Amino acid sequence: MVKATKISEVRDQVRQWKKEGLTVGLVPTMGFLHEGHMSLVDKAVSMCDRVVASDFVNPTQFGPNEDLETYPRDFERDCRLLEEHGCHMVFHPEVSEMYFDDAATYVEILSDMPKQLCGKTRPIHFRGVCTVVSKLFNIVTPDKAFFGQKDAQQLAIIRRMVRDLSFGIEIVGCPIVREADGLARSSRNTYLNNEERQAALILSKAVFAGQKMAEEGEKDANKIVAAMTEMIESEPLAKIDYVSAVDGVSMMPVDKIEGSVLVAMAVYIGKTRLIDNFIVEG
């Protein structure tokens, strides 16, 4: 596996691959890889001739009081995992390689889409995500890019950005990967102590309960959200940021389960903010 830290190294290698007629897949990550990331890499390896993973903790998507400094990092371990899963190149740039000191250009969706759900408490988050993902698209020029359904709003926003800016890249969404007991895999799970790890199960329990209600025919989105909210509130260590039902494409709130609906949540367990969701087709 090639380890690149410079944009020019990535460009040279990808140019070579494309000259050979090979297709290229991109898996953007912030590192500290877990099985969720590896499922994206596996999917990319199965669909593309060459796979590039980026491993970059992107400062522009963190708010001033968020966990940029403490975000977990282990590049050596990441490389071992990527290599084991057949990744061909990892791009691990310094912040200074990705952002000029006086960088003043951002990519931002100006509809209400990024203001919903996570955007309510993380107002600059999706601008940072769209900016870094656009840069990675310009650097790697992949045919396909792979994103997890756990970050459902991010996935919807990237699809919209790719459409609006004619990137010509196929976005492949991949299912949520869970621990054996249901907890959705996340690099931030590492922040949880034993008691919090146990309490965090309330997210997936609420997801499964909401999913069951929807599968059994409940069409009132508010009733599903209310039942999930009550369940989460019964866990003393949990503090809800949001539990919401929104249209699966526009991310705008809905009252009815009609078409594709995303039921998503963000919940603090102690100081750790975790997300989880499910999609229901009404």
Q: How far is the CB of 258 from ligand PAF (least distance, A)?
A: 29
Q: Which of 10, 82, 90, 132 binds ligand PAF (CB under 6 A)?
A: 132
Give the span between the Cα atoms of 22 and 166, in whole angstroms.
22
Of 34, 37, 85, 125, the catalytic one is 37
Give the span between the Cα atoms of 121 and 241, in whole angstroms.
8
244 in Cβ contact with 116 (< 8 Å): yes
Q: Which of 10, 14, 24, 30 binds ligand PAF (CB under 6 A)?
A: 30
Those residues with Cβ within 8 angstroms of residue 80's Cβ, 6 or more apart along the chain or in another chain: none
Nearest to 144 by CA among 158, 127, 132: 158
130 in Cβ contact with 161 (< 8 Å): yes
Q: How far is the CB of 219 from ligand PAF (least distance, A)?
A: 32
Residue tagged 């698209």 (tokens)? 137
Is 37 among the residues known to form the active site? yes
Q: How far is the CB of 3 from ligand PAF (least distance, A)?
A: 18
Q: Which C-beta is closer to ligand PAF: that of 178 or that of 223?
A: 178
Binding mask 101-130 for ligand PAF (x = CB under 6 A): ----------------------------x-
| Contacts (CB under 6 A) with ligand PAF, residues 51-70 | 58, 61
Under the criterion CB under 6 A, does residue 28 sit at the interface with ligand PAF?
A: yes
Q: Which of 133, 225, 231, 238 binds ligand PAF (CB under 6 A)?
A: 133
43 in Cβ contact with 171 (< 8 Å): no
Give the span between the Cα atoms of 124 and 114, in whole angstroms.
9
Instruction: Give SS3 for 101.
Output: coil
Q: Which C-beta is closer to ligand PAF: that of 133 or that of 254?
A: 133
Q: How many residues bind ligand PAF (CB under 6 A)?
A: 10
Strands (E), the chain: 2-4, 24-29, 50-55, 89-91, 144-148, 170-174, 238-247, 260-269, 272-281
Active site positions, annotated:
37
Interacting residue ranges for ligand PAF, rule: CB under 6 A: 28-30, 58, 61, 129, 132-133, 151, 154
